[in-house]
Amino acid sequence: MHVVSVPADMAFLAPFCPRPAARLSHVRSRRVSARPRTFLLDMVVPSPRALVALTREPPKNEPLDALLTARSIPTVHLPCVARLDGPDLPALPAALASPPQPWAWVVVTSPEAASIVVEAYAAAGRPSPPPRLAAVGDATSRVLTAAGLPVSFVPSVATGAVLVAELPSPPPPALCDTPAAAAASVLYPASMRAGSGVADGLTARGYAVTRLDAYTTAPAVWGPDAMAAAAQVGVVSFASPSAVKAWVSNGGGGVGGGEGMPADVAVIAACIGETSAKAARAAGFGRVMAAAEPGLDAWADVVEEAVDVVREEVAAARGGRGGH
């Protein structure tokens, strides 16, 4: 490793110094376009010790933030995307309250979609019994159960493809206690950006899928405070290509270190999976790490690995300064 001298004021290095800690284990639908919009993100007040940038929308940042805080890793929230209402959102409360027949399943594939369902269920007056929910991933399940909505099915791996493969097949009409159409009906509140894989896959398995485009996302535009905070971090956590794109378009570091980093310590992109990692490499990040397995815990492990790398490099740079 090339060791460089760093400025005399080393206060900003405090969060990067090595810390003693035990290592953790190691990763029929209709489509309507929305008008593009952007959101100004400013007045960020990060901890002066912030090391990891969290780039999801605030509700979706919180589970990862909690895991990293428990590992003594300081963070700053720098959302790169913001949620917008989709064209089908007004129809969702009525769909949850009084469908023609009860839904066999309401399929929820992300924490953001879970938040949408929770809000729509409340707007519908919290009808009883609650809908039968299938949720992709523990983070999605937690949003639902925290609002008092029980989750009946979670696939073994947190992906839409595995949910499609593992969701119990609709029963034969002769064995149905309810009309056959209800026993095979699925409500799928989705992002407008979501592909057709979940709906198509469930349709192929015999379900009648009603997809509602309930929300979408748009890039956030940073103000001066957010841009200054981004310049201080050593690790950026990404969960989507759109977050990578927004980070770069806002001037976030990637190829080289931020202003608060030693010159030879480049920012590391710590990604939830290979899709985001591929986007980070294409965007110019020279150092990219990705979780090998789906899920929040695997992502947190990758972020911690990246933090350890940065801490070791900054400590070496600090040692180099002491030798001059």
217, 240, 268 — which closes off a domain? 217
End-to-end CA distance of the chain: 16
Q: Which of 36-40, 77-81, 253-257, 292-296 shows the lowest per-residue confidence on average (mean pLDDT)? A: 36-40
10 Å Cβ neighbour count for 240?
Answer: 20
- The reply to whether 132 and 202 lie within a common domain is yes
217, 249, 282 — which closes off a domain? 217
In angstroms, the CA 98 to CA 85 distance is: 21
Residue 5 in any domain: the answer is no
Residue 2 in any domain: the answer is no
Side chain identity, residue 67: L
Range of the domain at 312: 13-18+30-83+222-322
- The reply to whether 311 and 189 lie within a common domain is no
- The reply to whether 123 and 211 lie within a common domain is yes
Contacts of 198 (CB under 8 A, 6+ apart): 107, 109, 160, 163, 164, 188, 190, 209
- The reply to whether 190 and 271 lie within a common domain is no
Domains of the chain: total: 2
Top pLDDT among 244 and 58 is at 244
Residue 195 clears pLDDT 60, i.e. is over it:
yes
- The reply to whether 250 and 278 lie within a common domain is yes
> Average pLDDT of 50-61?
84
189, 217, 245 — which closes off a domain? 217
In angstroms, the CA 110 to CA 90 distance is: 19
- The reply to whether 64 and 173 lie within a common domain is no
Residue 186 in any domain: the answer is yes
CATH code at 34? 3.40.50.10090
Residue 112 in any domain: the answer is yes
Tell if the pTM clears 0.75, that is, is over it: no
Side chain identity, residue 208: A
Q: Confidence band (pLDDT; 50, 70, 90) for 262?
A: low
Q: Confidence band (pLDDT; 50, 70, 90) for 43?
A: very low
- The reply to whether 314 and 238 lie within a common domain is yes
- The reply to whether 88 and 210 lie within a common domain is yes
- The reply to whether 146 and 202 lie within a common domain is yes
Side chain identity, residue 211: R
Block residue for tokens 């911690």: 304
pLDDT in tens, 226-251: 888 888 899 999 998 989 999 998 88
- pLDDT at position 85, please? 94
Residue 303 in any domain: the answer is yes
DSSP, collapsed to helix, strand or coil, labels residue 201 as: helix
